[in-house]
Structure 1
Amino acid sequence: MAGVGVAAPPPARVISASGQFVVYADDLHAASAISTYAEHLKRQWLRALELTDTWRDPVVVVVQSNAAPPRLSVQALGPGFHLRYQLDGGPGQLPEPAWRAAFVEILCAEFANRDLPVPGALAPIPWWLTHGLAAEFGQDAEDRLGDVRRELPVAPPPSAGALLRRAAEPAADRQLQAQAWLFTTGLLSLPAGPAKLRQLLTELGAQKNVTNAFAAVYRQDFADERRLEKWWALTLAEWRTSQVARNLTAVETEKALDEILRLPVASAQKLRLELLALQAHPLYVDAIRVYRQAVEFADPKLREQADLYREFARQQVQAIGAYLDQFDQ
């Protein structure tokens, strides 16, 4: 990511609910839609990594009249802020995969770079993490599983080590995107999975090397490359044999759902509900999706931090507005 010169922003400006995203567009409705979409993605990202919304650096989104794909640039700011992330691109259709991946990359980069000195080298955000999380936020469980089962047999999948070392972004490679989602989902499913992904982002900022950062975080899970490859092979085998067919009866589905809902709310329940949706009786599928949304919003961490978010967002909105107003005058 490198800073680039950009044209003057379009006239309409919308600041998102948390204050982190400042969207410029020719049309006020387009700016509002993108602002809302960015906040929606951020809520999903926060839940996946079990984070509170204590962002530091603002994100400026400039929607130009052309149809160019989103392009990310980063620049250092003056006192009071650390870095400013900027997305420039055409309006497209939301939710568009390119915009979704760009927003996910920004969220990961902002967290990883938050405590780094400026100027200095920035954290490299691996493509598999960006596209893996973007796929997680963009489809329901059955669609994602269908993609994996369609794409993985096309060619032998790369080793886990090759995935970690790959630098190129698979913008149009559905097979690599399916593997990225599977790899990321597998890491999230490990014990303390969200905490380890947070630690990985921090290590990426400290070490500036994906392979070294991964080894530092996951050495207890994968003592050597052989154990990592064994885990990856088992993960691939498990998902290849997963059944999409809904083979549970209505009574069996009700019993499985009842067992999940009697447990205290935890992030692991979302995955259990997703897997149940793949096997459930057809009459229960819509209900399970509603319960899954309820589990997400019932997370006690989100409720406990609501007041903190609100006050923090208010302060950030005021600070960002004052900073950006200098350039509007």
Structure 2
Amino acid sequence: MKTVRRAIFILILPVLAFQSLRAAPPARSVSPSRQFIIYASSTALRGAVSELAEQTKANLLTLLRQPDRWKTPIVVNLQPAQANLPEIPSAALRFSQTGFGLKLQLDLTIGESIDAALVERELLRAILLEMIYRSEPDVAPGTAFVEPPDWLLDGVLAIMPGRDRGPLVEALSVSDKQTSVEEFLRQRPALLDSPARLLYRAYSLSLLELLVNGTDGHSRLTRYIDNLSHASNDPFADLKAQFPLLGDDVKKTWQSALARPSGAQNYQLLTFAESEQRLDELLRVKIPDAGNSSKQVELSELAQRKLSAVEKMALGRVSENLVLLTIRANPVMRPIVREYQQIAALLVRGKRKRVAQRLARVQATRTTLGARMSDIDDYMNWFEATQSKTGSGVFVDYLRAVGESQIPAPRRRDPLSVYLDSVDEQFED
């Protein structure tokens, strides 16, 4: 009898173990800013989502020119796809009021292939939702929450560094009919077909560029996001309340924004050499004189003395331009540009402690990096010249010009020219 019971127990044990594994809570990871709490069984997957979440938030804060002031943590639950539950959506954002405050949870269903674009979009939606209700922690339970508009999601994703905006610019150029901004804001992208969806993304990028490039555009966009919790049923009125440029001749302004395909150029990444050149230009701070002229002062010189009000204003503009350069700079140069920006911000606030050491350290790093990149360029040139099976085509025009210069020009056959040619040949002999 005991043998039978033991056999039954051995048969049931794997089932119990499997159920215990299914019931056990998945491991969790906390992102570096501690805002994102990620649950998943795979360590690599948790790390990848954590990095994507932090980068998405950093890009948004750079666009808004705001520091990180998060209050509500975002729980990201990565669950495997189940064949017996195909109705589970790939992404579900749950935002609710609990007895302890707001709860923000993003459930992502992970299948065999992960749609990184979908994950990034949902992470951005969660980040914006936290910003919208950051100043309203006491929302009554059952209140309908206002989500960030789709045009804002698409615009922010398209304006992020490193994105290919060529298809969006092309969609604007081939479109034979322009949609008014009021009609565009009322569109529901989930109901659009693929070409119309691409055009919607292009419109979103154009609108966002129009808003942030206006007067005090970044701060106005931040206030617009903060006030979305009180949004009305008229999205254009809510937008116009924060951006006066939409109140004058909105039709002309909107047409001008759509006719300016700057998205494919203004945010293209710079090469390493271009990043170096632009950084050198910004580090030579232009200080206005009493007249209309200005003098250039190195950042290292300003770090050694107390700054005047005029110098602080000039250095503040440099700090803002360095933030913009961080977006477009070559990826290997971004930490250096960010370090210079932080140093400039400290000097504007009158804090000079250990700034000289930081400047010396970042300059040494920059010199080492420049030498390394030069070595890489030399190696690539050597490889192309000696090892590559195909040419790059860079020197085709030059080689053609050299070859054509070696072909003698046709000689004239009139009597005087023939005589002069014969005299020239005699002198050459």
Task: Judge same fold: TM > 0.5, yes or no.
Answer: yes
Q: What is residue 153 of structure 1 aligned with on the other side?
A: 173
The Cα of 1:175 is off from its aligned counterpart by 2.3
Q: What is residue 149 of structure 2 aligned with on the other side?
A: 126
Question: Judging changes above 3 Å, is the alpha-carbon distance between structure 1 residues 62 and 132 closer, same or farther for their aligned structure 2 residues?
Answer: same
Q: What is residue 237 of structure 2 aligned with on the other side?
A: 212
The correspondence of residues 119-268 of structure 1 with structure 2, limited to 5 A, is 119=141, 120-137=143-160, 139-140=162-163, 143-144=164-165, 146-155=166-175, 156-169=177-190, 173-209=197-233, 210-218=235-243, 220-224=244-248, 227-239=249-261, 258-263=280-285, 264=315, 265-268=318-321
State how far apart, in whole Å, the 1-side matches of 2:254 and 2:149 are: 17
Q: Give, as a single letter, the amino acid of the residue that structure 2 aligns with 1:84.
A: L
In the TM superposition, what whole-angstrom CA distance separates every residue of 1:143-199 from its partner, at most 9, and x where no partner exists?
Answer: 22x123222134234222222222434695222212212221221121211111111
Q: Give, as a single letter, the amino acid of the residue that structure 1 aligns with 2:187.
A: R
Secondary structure of the structure 2 residue equivalent to 1:75: strand
On the 8 A contact 2:322/2:340 being kept in 1, the answer is no
Question: Judging changes above 3 Å, is the alpha-carbon distance between structure 1 residues 273 and 52 closer, same or farther for their aligned structure 2 residues?
Answer: closer
On the 8 A contact 1:125/1:204 being kept in 2, the answer is yes
Q: Give, as a single letter, the amino acid of the residue that structure 2 aligns with 1:160.
A: V
Question: Judging changes above 3 Å, is the alpha-carbon distance between structure 1 residues 242 and 107 closer, same or farther for their aligned structure 2 residues?
Answer: closer
State how far apart, in whole Å, the 2-side matches of 1:302 and 1:74 are: 39
Q: Give, as a single letter, the amino acid of the residue that structure 1 aligns with 2:342.
A: P
State how far apart, in whole Å, the 2-side matches of 1:49 and 1:160 are: 22
State how far apart, in whole Å, the 2-side matches of 1:100 and 1:290 are: 23
State how far apart, in whole Å, the 2-side matches of 1:8 and 1:59 are: 23
In the TM superposition, what whole-angstrom CA distance separates every residue of 1:222-252 from its partner, at most 9, and x where no partner exists?
Answer: 224xx222222112222179779x9xxxx99
Q: Give, as a single letter, the amino acid of the residue that structure 2 aligns with 1:139.
A: G
The Cα of 1:136 is off from its aligned counterpart by 2.2
Secondary structure of the structure 2 residue equivalent to 1:56: coil
On the 8 A contact 2:154/2:205 being kept in 1, the answer is yes
Question: Judging changes above 3 Å, is the alpha-carbon distance between structure 1 residues 14 and 161 closer, same or farther for their aligned structure 2 residues?
Answer: same
State how far apart, in whole Å, the 2-side matches of 1:262 and 1:167 are: 48
On the 8 A contact 1:23/1:35 being kept in 2, the answer is yes
What percent identity do the matched residue pairs reach? 25
Structure 2's unaligned 5+ residue stretches are 1-21, 83-88, 286-314, 347-429
The Cα of 1:21 is off from its aligned counterpart by 0.8
The Cα of 1:291 is off from its aligned counterpart by 4.5
Question: Judging changes above 3 Å, is the alpha-carbon distance between structure 1 residues 293 and 211 closer, same or farther for their aligned structure 2 residues?
Answer: farther
Secondary structure of the structure 2 residue equivalent to 1:74: strand
Q: Give, as a single letter, the amino acid of the residue that structure 2 aligns with 1:176.
A: Y
State how far apart, in whole Å, the 1-side matches of 2:227 and 2:263 are: 34
State how far apart, in whole Å, the 1-side matches of 2:169 and 2:263 are: 9
Q: What is residue 403 of structure 2 aligned with on the other side?
A: none
State how far apart, in whole Å, the 2-side matches of 1:38 and 1:252 are: 29
Q: Is the radius of gyration larger for structure 1 or structure 2?
A: 2
Question: Judging changes above 3 Å, is the alpha-carbon distance between structure 1 residues 273 and 198 closer, same or farther for their aligned structure 2 residues?
Answer: closer
The Cα of 1:111 is off from its aligned counterpart by 0.7
In the TM superposition, what whole-angstrom CA distance separates every residue of 1:237-284 from its partner, at most 9, and x where no partner exists?
Answer: 22179779x9xxxx999876643453543445565787xx7xxxxxxx
Q: Give, as a single letter, the amino acid of the residue that structure 2 aligns with 1:127.
A: D
Q: Which moved more, 1:91-100 or 1:190-199?
A: 91-100
Q: Give, as a single letter, the amino acid of the residue that structure 1 aligns with 2:241.
A: A
Secondary structure of the structure 1 residue equivalent to 2:261: helix
Q: Which moved more, 1:82-91 or 1:55-64?
A: 82-91
In the TM superposition, what whole-angstrom CA distance separates every residue of 1:1-47 from its partner, at most 9, and x where no partner exists?
Answer: xxxxxx98961211111111111112122112211211121111111
Aligned pairs, number: 276
Secondary structure of the structure 2 residue equivalent to 1:221: helix
The Cα of 1:88 is off from its aligned counterpart by 2.4
TM-score, normalised relative to structure 2: 0.55
Q: What is residue 311 of structure 1 aligned with on the other side?
A: none
